[in-house]
């Protein structure tokens, strides 16, 4: 009898803890279920505003998101999802098929579902935006602590019109200085060829603009890794966009 008392008490405590965990999990799950759609909608709206801001677009000017997918049918096909069609290409960039799109998508999840329903093994592999004043491409590069998501805007002549850091987890007061105009604006006006030739040196930049070195990005003081990550992300984003446009919209790509 003496041993049953503590055992009973332990079972009671265990049951209470398990019940508490179940209730807490249900509450968290419920909150996520009801708030996640609103959070995603807000994120999409915020990204749309950043795209417009980077290229100085008016509210009525159209922004088209083009999503790229790989591993279609488990084979070496790639696909680009436009508002009116899902265009398939082989790895040489030769067109294979256009699948009409009749749906009006409200979210990225709906677009991915449309593709997955037809090609279950397809994987999202990047995106870019087409606007009346140029393009915006998304690039991801690993920084000092975690991946950094970047938007790079380009004019129709493929000169950089703006760089925006969409998300990062770099250290406050150091790595997060990559979000400041003083650093980002160094990329403005560079064309694709100039961009590939630049190098990153330790900052800060000279106060006299005439003393600045050519083909140089001055990194944030104490955050060289973060600065190089942004630079490499911008280079990669522009290179990928040129490659993708040559396949999906070859007439849009200017000569280098």
pLDDT of residue 73: 62
233 shares its domain with 141: yes
Convert the pLDDT of each residue in 61-97 to its tens digit: 999 999 999 876 656 789 999 999 999 998 888 999 9
The answer to the question of residue 3 being in a domain is: no
138 shares its domain with 202: yes
| pLDDT at residue 11 tops 60 | yes
CA distances to 22, 23, 30, 46, 125 from 18, rounded to whole Å, are 6, 9, 18, 40, 41
pLDDT of residue 162: 94
Average pLDDT over residues 94-122: 93
pLDDT of residue 42: 45
Residue 89 lies in domain: 64-131
The DSSP letter of residue 191 is B
| Mean pLDDT of the chain, nearest integer | 84
246 shares its domain with 151: yes
The answer to the question of residue 43 being in a domain is: no
Convert the pLDDT of each residue in 35-63 to its tens digit: 444 434 445 556 778 899 999 999 889 99
140 shares its domain with 113: no
164 shares its domain with 210: yes
The answer to the question of residue 211 being in a domain is: yes
Domain end, chosen from 93, 110, 131, is at 131
pLDDT of residue 38: 41
225 shares its domain with 170: yes
| pTM assigned to the model | 0.78
The answer to the question of residue 201 being in a domain is: yes
The answer to the question of residue 2 being in a domain is: no
Q: Which two tokens stand for residue 179?
A: 């979000």
CA distances to 54, 182, 237 from 149, rounded to whole Å, are 15, 19, 11
Report how far residue 155's alpha carbon sits from residue 136's, in angstroms, rounded to the nearest whole number: 9
pLDDT of residue 211: 77
């Amino acid at each position: 009898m003496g041993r049953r008392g503590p055992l009973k008490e332990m079972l009671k405590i265990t049951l209470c803890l398990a019940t508490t965990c179940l209730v807490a999990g249900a509450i968290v799950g419920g909150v996520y279920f009801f708030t996640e759609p609103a959070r995603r909608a807000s994120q999409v709206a915020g990204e749309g505003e950043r795209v417009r801001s980077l290229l100085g677009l008016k509210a009525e000017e159209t922004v088209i998101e083009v999503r790229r997918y790989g591993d279609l049918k488990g084979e070496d096909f790639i696909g680009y999802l436009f508002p009116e069609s899902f265009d398939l290409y082989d790895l040489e960039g030769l067109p294979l098929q256009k699948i009409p799109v009749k749906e009006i998508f409200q979210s990225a999840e709906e677009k991915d579902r449309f593709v997955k329903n037809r090609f279950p093994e397809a994987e999202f592999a990047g995106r870019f935006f087409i606007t009346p004043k140029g393009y915006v491409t998304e690039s991801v590069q690993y920084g000092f602590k975690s991946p950094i998501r970047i938007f790079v805007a380009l004019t129709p002549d493929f000169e950089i019109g703006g760089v925006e850091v969409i998300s990062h987890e770099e250290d406050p007061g150091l790595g997060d200085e990559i979000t400041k105009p003083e650093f980002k604006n160094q990329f403005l006006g560079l064309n694709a060829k100039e961009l590939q030739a630049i190098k990153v040196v330790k900052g800060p930049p000279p106060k006299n603009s005439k003393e600045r070195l050519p083909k140089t990005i001055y990194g944030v003081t104490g955050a060289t890794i973060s600065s190089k990550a942004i630079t490499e992300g911008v280079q990669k984003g522009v290179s990928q966009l040129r490659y993708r446009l040559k396949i999906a919209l070859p007439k849009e790509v200017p000569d280098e």
